[in-house]
Amino acid sequence: MPSPASPPRRMIPLAALLAAVLAPAPAAADHLITFTGAFDDSDYSSSRWDGADQFEDDLPPLFDLTRLGGGSFRATFRVPEVPPVDEYSGVANFEYHPPAPLALVLLDAAGGVVHRLGGGLYELDVENFRRQGRPGSPPQRANDVSFYAVPDGLAGLDAPPELYGPNRLAFGEIAATFADGSRPLGDVSIPLDGATYLDFDGRELRVYLAVANGDPSGDGPNLYVYTQLVYQITGASVAPAAVPEPSGAGLMSAGAAGLAWYARRRRGRAARARTEASVVDRPARPMHPPTDPAGGRTMNPPASSLLRLGLAIAAIALASSLSPPARAALILEPVFNRVAGFGGADDNFPLYDPGYLIGGVAYFTADEPGEIVTYASGDPRDPFLDEFHVWNNTGYAITGFTLRLIGTAAVTDDPGAVVRGPVDAIWGDADGDGLVGSSDIFSSITVSADGKEIRFEGGLIPVGGRFTDVHLAVSDAPPDFAGIDSSFTGVRTVPEPSGSMLSAMGLVASALGGVWRGRAARAGTRRT
What does 95-143 look like in DSSP terms, one character per residue?
A: EEEEEEEEEEEEE-TTS-EEEEEEEEEEEEEEEEEEE--STTSPPEEEE
Query: Residue 384 in contact with residue 441, Cβ under 8 Å?
Result: no
Find the range with the poorest average confidence among 214-218, 350-354, 497-501.
497-501
What confidence score (pLDDT) does residue 468 get? 92
Is 50 exceeded by the pLDDT of residue 492? yes
Task: Supply the pLDDT for residue 479.
Answer: 87
**Which residues lie closer than 8 Å to 299 by C-beta, 6 or more apart?**
262, 266, 291, 292
Residue 447 pLDDT greater than 60, yes or no: yes
Dihedrals φ, ψ of 65, to 5°?
-65, -30
**What are the residues whose beta carbons fall under 8 Å from the beta carbon of 511, sequence distance 6 or more?**
none
Closest CA to 170 of 218, 131, 224: 224
Stretch 269-287: mean pLDDT: 32
| Geometric angle at alpha carbon 184, from 187 and 189, rounded to 5° | 25
pLDDT band at 263 (very low <50, low <70, confident <90, very high): very low
pLDDT, tens only, 368-423 = 999 999 999 998 887 777 778 899 999 999 999 999 999 999 888 889 889 999 99
Mean pLDDT on 427-443: 88
pLDDT at res. 234 = 94
> Could you give the CA distance from residue 398 to residue 471 in angstroms, rounded to a whole number?
19
pLDDT band at 29 (very low <50, low <70, confident <90, very high): low
Average pLDDT, the chain: 75
Is pLDDT of 501 > 70?
A: no
The answer, yes or no, to whether residue 8 has pLDDT greater than 70, is: no
pLDDT at 133 over 90: no
Question: Is-above-0.95 flag for pTM?
Answer: no
- Kindly report, residue by residue over 175-225, the tens digit of the pLDDT: 999 987 666 676 788 988 888 899 888 999 999 899 999 987 778 999 999
User: pLDDT by residue (tens digit) across 309-346?
Assistant: 444 444 444 444 444 444 448 999 999 999 988 888 88
CA-wise closest residue to 226 among 50, 52, 59: 59
| More reliable by pLDDT, 140 or 206 | 206
Mean pLDDT of 18-26: 43
Q: How far apart are CA 32 and CA 116, in angstroms?
A: 17
Residue 510 predicted with pLDDT over 80: no
The neighbouring-strand residues paired with 105 are 74, 116
Q: pLDDT category, 136, cuts 50, 70, 90?
A: low
pLDDT attached to residue 254: 43
Mean per-residue pLDDT, 73-97: 85
Query: What pLDDT, on the 0 to 100 scale, is given for residue 97?
Result: 83
Under the banding of pLDDT at 50, 70 and 90, the label for residue 278 is very low
Other CB atoms closer than 10 Å to residue 505's CB: what's the count?
Answer: 15
Give SS3 for 41.
strand
pLDDT at 252: 44
